[in-house]
Amino acid sequence: MSVPIARSVAQLREIVAAWRREGARIAVVPTMGVLQEGHLSLVRAALEKADQVIGTLFVNRSSSTARLIWPRIRARRRMPPSWRPLARTCVGLCGAFRPGHFEGVAIVVAKLFLQTGADLAFFGEKDFQQLQVMASHGA
């Protein structure tokens, strides 16, 4: 089995477009950090619901993959005004101890959704708080 690797948004969109022409249902497994067995179990679960699965790897803002999300890395990102309700969702979560964390996660995941055009997304239990934030905002 050949697994395509996209190293740019343009390459990713070409791959997804070919899958769409075939009528494929597409899932995305957004990952942050080092790939591990939990991520692979999410890919397996996604393959039960979709024809094709995109696994994304996003490490942090200083990594090379960050340039696809933030073309110009800034010292501090501000949450767009339309995302201000996101801050209310973070109340009671670990966001109180990690200022800006959930806003950053939401921005990255939203961009990954836009870039992949996936029909489904799979998140691990470890990402429960992140999933709660995304689900409460219709992502």
pLDDT in tens, 18-63: 999 999 999 999 887 777 888 899 999 999 999 999 998 876 555 4
25's CB contacts (< 8 A; 6+ apart) are 49, 50, 51, 52, 119, 120
Identify the CA nearest to 112 among candidates 95, 136, 130: 130
User: Is 39 an active-site residue?
Assistant: yes
Catalytic residue chosen out of the listed positions 29, 30, 31, 39 = 39
What angle (nearest 5°) sits at the alpha carbon of residue 124, between those of residues 122 and 128?
Answer: 110
d(CA 15, CA 124): 25
pLDDT in tens, 61-102: 554 565 666 555 444 455 555 555 565 666 666 666 777 777
pLDDT on residue 75:
41
